[in-house]
Chains A and B, each alone.
Chain A
């Protein structure tokens, strides 16, 4: 349990610090801060693992794991997986069109909205521009005279995504 508890505590600390930072400061480069804080939490995990007592002195025998490399690795894995799960939740809250749509629908909870009314509320130019800006910033697209083209990295990402879409028969998607 020592590894799992250390992983959970380290993630709990990461979560609180991250929430406080984003609450106090309007963060422009969110991914960088999310990942940077998580990396900064790795030494905290190591420290917590060392600080927690050996399982045999705390837990009943079915929950006792030896304090070896596997237990340490499993705790680290939990810290990583919890972060990945949280990152998924964070980006759903931040970027999801579905969530934004539901928030728009909540503006008139009794009547609801038609597709036409929803379309009017959603500023597609803004939505598209935001994605394009991010893709340029991340080095996937280049803007030239008002046209966008893919970089080498963008070409590779587009080819991989298209291949997986075809392989799993997912349709054009988006």
Chain B
């Protein structure tokens, strides 16, 4: 089972090695899409590397090579996929976290303290909504018709699912 784990960790490390310089060198509007494409390509590379390398990778102990190839590969792919999902959580927290932005605005203020009205002035509802609408346009959840925002078919499906989850788990209107 170690081969799959080692390759998954190496694949994720490679993802970071590619993604970080790419984001630092080139400002892309479609950052998340870029991340998904890199991860997908590396997932395929992981599959190929698994099939092309020996079961001990040349350095693993013999005792760790007794698992069946399918379960080892499945485990490796799962670990790689979940490491990516975990990194996405971290990425969204940094990039889109509203609470994080509040703390940064408070820290950046001259006296390092702000009333709610000033926080709202520094990061208005219109700015919040513009950013979210832009992101949802990018991923095809909404569309613009005559200056009006409407849900696409994909968006309507998402609304139905999230509305159900919110209601079932009693999460309130949220947002």
List residues of chain A with CB under 8 Å of any chain B CB.
1, 4, 19, 22-23, 25-27, 30, 55, 59-66, 70-71, 74, 77-78, 81-82, 84-85, 87-88, 90, 92-103, 105-106, 109-115, 118-119, 122, 124-125, 127-129, 131-132, 134-135, 140-141, 144, 146-150, 154-155, 157-159, 161-162, 164-165, 167-170, 172-174
Contact = CB atoms under 8 A, between A and B. Distances in A.
A106 B165 CA distance: 16
A172 B113 CA distance: 18
A50 to B, nearest CB: 18
B174 A95 contact: yes
Contacts of A167: 20, 24
B5 to A, nearest CB: 7
A100 B85 CA distance: 22
Q: Which range holds the interface residue count of chain B?
A: 35 or more
Interface of B: 1-2, 5, 20, 23-24, 27, 31, 64, 66-72, 74-75, 78-79, 82, 85-86, 88-89, 91, 93-104, 106-107, 112-116, 119-120, 123-133, 135-136, 141-142, 145, 147-151, 155-156, 158-159, 162-163, 165-166, 168-175
B23 A174 contact: no
Interface of B, helix, strand, loop or mixed by DSSP: helix
